[in-house]
Amino acid sequence: MRDDQETPTPPVHHRVAIIGTGFAGIGMAVRLKRAGLHDIVLLERAYEVGGTWRDNTYPGAACDVPSHLYSFSFAPNPDWSRSFSPQPEIWDYLRRVAKDHDVVRHVRFGCEVTDARWEPAANRWRVTTTGGVFTAQFLISGCGPLADPAVPDIPGLDSFAGTVFHSAAWNHDHDLTGRRVAVVGTGASAIQFVPEIQPVVGELKLFQRTPPWVLPRHDRDITRPETWVYRTIPLAQRAARLAIYWGRESYVLGFVHSPRLMKAVERLARFNLRRGVRDPRLRAKLLPDYTIGCKRMLLSNDYYPALDRPNVDVVTEGIAGFQADAVVTRDGVRHEVDTVIFGTGFHVTDSPIAQRLRDAEGVRLADRWGDDMTALRGTTVAGYPNLFMLAGPNTGLGHTSQVFMIEAQINYTMAALRHAARNRIDRIEARADAQAAYNEWVQRRMRGTVWVSGGCDSWYLNDKGRNTTLWPGFTWDYALRTRRFDPHNYHLRPEIPPAGLPGAARRTPSGAGAAQRPEGAPAGAPRRAQRNEAAR
């Protein structure tokens, strides 16, 4: 080697690499550190922690789950200012948790993951980022479904001469005062920012494809005496959290078991519409024709009144394309605007991180999935060893706190890692038949739910009409199913000591091997029994 040639710097290796620093990434890191595992790295594309609550800074951004429930169970916050927390408070909370639990020093900022490939010979993941290359024995994705904005491919958008941005990347430098603004989309973000911008814009054209059901938002200030009680008597806040949790769980009875029960909720939404909109013609535009709950139920007290203002026009005709100064609808009408704001949601059923995860042969997870995202317990994927996906397929919720599900997945991941440490296992890979059986069971449970039979086309469904997003039941049920690791559903490889050392022969721990039987199943148990065990 010539003197002027530098020796390539080997990638930095860690026991665990975590992608993202939202609720999932931070929560996972805290649990690992509490268990005594400090050889971890968190790879973050931005320059601060916070995930979706860092990125979504649009006017009026807030959570639609009550504050006391939308937080980690191990880090209650007695200082919420409102019953539904605004975005700045949630972001501050996440930064505080990361700081208080010494997570920040493990974060590598400016490191967007561009590729991650399993290297079987080295038994590790090789992760390429914009800030360098890392390797890790275990890779944990904390990339939630609300991470990458989705902008529809509409003809002529590139020719539009005005300002265009998505609500998840709000352009705060663009003054909306007096502007002619087009808002495309009527989802959870739009119903929050539309009332905020309506008073300042000149004209607002809201392009609505499908109206949402909007319930009253029972939001209020949390009083100083309440805050004092929560600080002084932590049990009081835990009791409030528990009451909110069980109240939210009751929605599952209507979503899953008896959609007829949603009629009472629908009456409340209809009342909210009548109260907020005086114009009967506008009210007719805003009245959904599908069962409430089929699409995400939204909460707002000021969305409907904002649409009833003279400077707002709700357009229900589909968009045909854009021109330099206008949105053109399919009826040929030109709607002249100078600003376009997309409130069109995120890539949910086509998870972008799956485009960057590759197996030993280089096959991307997105290609392996095709149109159907599937994972065992929503967390592990056959063919991708030592990979855990938090907020993975069929772990989303339409009624309560996603943080609860994330913590359940963290529990499952920790159980898997503890099993590996106790039994000296260095490779954990979901069995394909166990994964298939589990997802067949999930889809059977999905039949008859409001999400697939409610008469709507929602972002919960993929192009085949399958719900690969939501968990079809109570969250406590999922938590019970992920409380313990299920080694019989996995291929487990024991550690292989270096040749020549004592104990170099393979030791097969409980649950290891390529052809595992369910626990308690006799030798030669039929494959059907294995599938049934995987689904339980």
Give 462-478 pLDDT, tens digit per residue.
Answer: 888 889 999 999 999 99
pLDDT at 147: 76
- Are 315 and 376 within one domain? no
Residues 16 and 114 both lie in one domain: yes
451 has pLDDT over 60: yes
Would you say how long the chain is, in residues?
A: 536
Instruction: Give the pLDDT confidence score for residue 96 in this predicted structure.
Output: 98
Query: How many domains does the chain contain in total?
Result: 2
Domain boundary among 342, 357, 388: 342
Q: What number is the average pLDDT over the span 261-288?
A: 95
Within-domain flag for 66: no
**pLDDT exceeds 90 at position 535:** no
Per-residue pLDDT at 28 exceeds 80:
yes
pLDDT score of 261: 84
Q: What is the mean pLDDT of residues 239-249?
A: 95
Q: How far is it between the farthest Cα atoms of the chain?
A: 84
Cβ contact 369:354 at 8 Å: yes
Portion of the chain with pLDDT greater than 70, in percent: 91
- 337 and 354 co-located in one domain: no
Confidence of residue 105 (pLDDT cuts 50, 70, 90): very high
Confidence of residue 453 (pLDDT cuts 50, 70, 90): confident
Identify the burial level of 260 via C-beta atoms within 10 angstroms of its C-beta, where 0-12 means exposed, 13-18 middle and 19 or more buried. Answer: exposed
pLDDT of amino acid 7: 57
Q: Residue 498 pLDDT more than 60?
A: no
Residues 203 and 331 in one domain: yes
pLDDT digits (tens, 9 = 90+) for 114-156: 999 999 999 999 999 999 999 999 999 999 877 788 889 999 9
Is residue 477 located within the same domain as residue 362?
yes
Q: Determine, yes or no, domain membership for 95.
A: no
Span 234-243, average pLDDT? 95
Task: Looking at the structure, tell me whether residues 361 and 421 fall in a common domain.
Answer: yes
Rounded (10°) CA dihedral 49, 51, 55, 60: -110
CATH number, domain containing residue 164: 3.50.50.60
Same domain (yes/no): 287, 375 = no
Q: Which helix (H) or strand (E) holds 532?
A: helix 527-535
State which H helix or E strand residue 166 sits in: strand 163-166
pLDDT at 368: 95
Nearest C-alpha neighbor of 268 from the set 249, 293, 246, 285: 293
Which residues are CB-neighbours of 422 under 8 A, at least 6 positions away? none
Tell which of 342, 363, 389 closes a domain.
342
Cα separation, 303 vs 490, in Å, equals 49
CA of 482: how far to CAs of 157, 173, 477, 478, 521, in Å?
45, 45, 9, 6, 21
Domain carrying residue 289: 157-212+250-342
Same domain for 431 and 387 = yes
Say which residues have a Cβ less than 8 Å from residue 358's Cβ, sequence separation at least 6: 115, 116, 117, 118, 364, 365
Q: What is the pLDDT of residues 392-425, one digit of tens each?
A: 999 999 899 999 999 999 999 999 999 999 999 9
* In-domain check, residue 451: yes
- Output the pLDDT for position 5: 53
**Which residue shows structure tokens 């710097």?**
9
Per-residue burial over 69-103, b if 16 or more Cβ lie within 10 Å, else e, is: bbbbeeebbbebeebbbbbebbbebbbebbeebeb
Question: Do 318 and 169 share a structural domain?
Answer: yes
Do 359 and 482 share a structural domain?
yes
Residue 77 maps to a domain? no
Which residue among 284, 316, 342 closes a domain?
342
What confidence score (pLDDT) does residue 462 get? 84
In a domain, 59, yes or no: no
Please choose, from the candidates 167, 127, 129, 172, the residue with its C-alpha nearest in 3D space to the C-alpha of residue 151: 167
What tokens were used for 498? Answer: 């270096």
Same domain for 27 and 140? yes
Whether residue 355 sits in one domain with residue 286: no
Rounded (10°) CA dihedral 114, 148, 406, 420: -10
Find, among 27, 16, 44, the residue nearest to 97 by Cα: 27
Domain-located, residue 73? no
Q: For residue 295, tell me if it sits in a domain.
A: yes
Arithmetic mean of pLDDT over the chain: 90
Q: What is the pLDDT of residues 516-529, one digit of tens each?
A: 333 333 233 333 33
CA 101 to chain centre: 23
- Between strands 163-166 and 132-141, the pairing is unpaired
Burial string for 484-495 (b: 16+ CB within 10 Å, else e) reads ebbbbbbbbbbe
Residues 104-121, mean pLDDT to the nearest whole number: 97
What is the band of 6 on the pLDDT scale with cuts at 50, 70, 90? low
Q: Is residue 516 part of a domain?
A: no
| Among 108-117, 339-348, 381-390, the least confident range | 339-348
Q: How much is the average pLDDT of 362-391?
A: 96
How many whole angstroms separate alpha carbon 497 and alpha carbon 55? 45
pLDDT over threshold 50, residue 360: yes
The average pLDDT across 347-355 equals 83
d(Cα 62, Cα 88) in Å, to the nearest integer?
A: 8
